A = this chain, B = another copy of it.
Amino acid sequence: MAKTPERGVKIQKNSPLKAYFLHHARVFVSSLGELTRRPIASMMTITVIAIALALPSGMYLFLHNVNQISADWDSSAQMSLFIKNNVSQRKVERLANRLNLRNDIESTKIITPEEALDDFVRISGFGDALNSLDKNPLPSVIVIQPIVDNQKPLQVSQLLNDMKKLPEVDIAQLDLEWVKRLYTMLDIANRAVWVISILLGIAVLLTVGNTIRLDIQSRKEEIIVIKLIGATNAFIRRPFLYTGLWYGLIGSLLALILTNIALSLISTPIQKLASLYNSNFELIGLSFDNSLMLIITSCILSLGGSWLAVGRQLSKIEPS
């Protein structure tokens, strides 16, 4: 039959390319129509996707913000170098300036023995006796503000070791060991967010895949019929792929909404908390780039899920 002038050809057709795009656009819109025709059913799938997407983005934001808070706390992560008594004041200043040049040190501050004594007097509240000392027994102290890189909590230990080795330094002491511990925890949490994101990404893929699979299953008869009257596999595949895309798109938008609602809900208590610590901390939301990433990831995962399902299922459904 393929050789003869086909009767079917008499049908007035659109130009192939135009027809192709028209058809795609029509399927794109009509697959959305399908979803809205079964609103509750579609919402179930979309909600699952949105939850699966909102969780990692929420956790990402949480950690991002904690990192930010703890960056504020960096100021506490100071190091005190107690200088040997026989080092002259000028040498102490030179040492401080030299240390200042290191790229893992933010700033240095010298506390002279006099200042130290004043502090001590102030803290102990009993100056009289000390003031009567003929010689100040306290050493000079250089207070170092290290540059703390969240990714490298061990750098600070390294710096501490270096400092201990300086000939002028008697004792080097990290003021707040706990900051290091916090960073270790944050580091673990960051990794956890990655693992969780991957797991939930798989969940999105499977959810969409599963939905589409069962959708195909429930349209098995229709697919057979439509194959019987000459539809190509691509023609049959298309609406399912677009449905998957819609799931991903709407699911990610819902996830964004959920995340932002959650954010605005906790923003007030967090702000209050921050003010307790005199921090002028601003809660960080999802940036435009983050949001776009989320949407694109979701669309890709959903499309991937439906692609897998369609591929597996369609070949199994053949008229007989």
Instruction: Using CB atoms and an 8 Å cutoff, list the residues of chain A in contact with chain B.
Output: 40-41, 44-45, 47-48, 51-52, 54-55, 58-59, 62, 66, 73, 76, 82, 85, 123-130, 133-139, 170-171, 176, 178-179, 181-182, 184-185, 188-189, 192, 195-196, 199-200, 202-203, 206-207, 209-211, 213-215, 217-218, 220-221, 262, 266, 270, 273, 277, 312
Chain B: CB-nearest residue to A273: B184
Contact of A137 among B85, B124, B206, B215 (CB under 8 A): B124
Chain B: CB-nearest residue to A138: B124
- Inter-chain contact B124/A51, CB cutoff 8 Å: no
Distance (whole angstroms) from the CB of A229 to the closest CB of chain B: 20
Among A55, A58, A127, A217, the one with the most B-chain Cβ atoms within 10 Å of its Cβ is A55
List 6 A-B pairs, minimum CB-CB distance, nearest first: A214-B214, A129-B137, A218-B218, A217-B218, A126-B137, A44-B210
* Chain B residues whose C-beta falls within 8 Å of the C-beta of A128 in the assembled complex: 137
Chain B: CB-nearest residue to A189: B62
- Inter-chain contact A48/B211, CB cutoff 8 Å: no
- Inter-chain contact B213/A210, CB cutoff 8 Å: no
